[in-house]
Amino acid sequence: MIAIGHKNPDGDSVMSAMAYAHLMRELGYNVVAKMAGPANKETCFAAKAFGFDLPGVQSAVSAADSLILTDHSDYAQAIDGARDARILQVVDHHGIGDISESKLLYAKYMPVGACCSIVYTSYKELEVEITPAVAKILLAGILTDTLNLVKVTCTDVDRAIYGELVTVLAAADNISYEEEFDKIQRIYKGMSEAAKNFDGMTDEEIFNADAKEYDINGVHFCLGSMDWDHPESIDSFLHRMLKVMDGRGLMFCRVGFLEHSYILYCGAPQGAASDFGKNVAELAFGQSVHPGVIYCERRLSRKLDVVPMLTKALG
Q: Provide the pLDDT for residue 229.
A: 87
- CA angle 97/101/106 to nearest 5° reads 75
- Ordered DSSP codes for 21-40: HHHHHHTT---EEEESS---
* Predicted confidence (pLDDT) per residue in 149-184, tens digit: 999 999 999 999 999 999 999 999 999 999 999 999
Tens digits of residue pLDDT in 2-18:
999 999 999 999 999 99
How far apart, in whole angstroms, are the C-alpha atoms of residue 219 and residue 1?
Answer: 32
Average pLDDT, the chain: 96
| pLDDT above 70 coverage of the chain, percent | 100
> Given this model, what pLDDT does residue 80 score?
97
The per-residue pLDDT for 116 is 98
What is the predicted pLDDT for the residue at 301?
93
Q: Does an H or E element contain 123, and which?
A: helix 115-125
Residues 6+ apart with CB under 8 A from 239: none
pLDDT at 102 over 80: no
For residue 82, what are the contacts with CB-CB under 8 A and spacing of at least 6? 61, 67, 69, 75, 99
Tally of CB atoms within 10 A around 65: 18
DSSP code, position 304? I
What's the confidence (pLDDT) of residue 104? 85
Burial class (CB in 10 A: 0-12, 13-18, 19+), 121: middle
Percent of the chain surpassing pLDDT 90: 94
Find the mean pLDDT for residues 260-272. Answer: 95
Q: Residue 30: its pLDDT value, please? A: 97
Q: Report pLDDT for 39.
A: 96
Q: Compute the average pLDDT of residues 248-273.
A: 95
pLDDT tens-place string over residues 214-225: 999 999 999 999
Q: What is the pLDDT of residues 38-71, one digit of tens each?
A: 999 999 999 999 999 999 999 999 999 999 999 9
Give the pLDDT confidence score for residue 140 in this predicted structure: 98
Q: What's the pLDDT score for residue 103?
A: 82
Give the whole-angstrom CA distance, residue 293 versus residue 207. Answer: 16
Q: With residue 33 as reference, give the H or E element that holds it.
A: strand 32-35
Q: Mean pLDDT across the stretch 104-127?
A: 96
Mean pLDDT is lowest, of 88-92, 270-274, 308-312, for 270-274
Helix axes 115-125, 132-146, angle to 10 degrees: 150
d(CA 114, CA 38): 20
The DSSP bridge partners found for residue 213 are 222
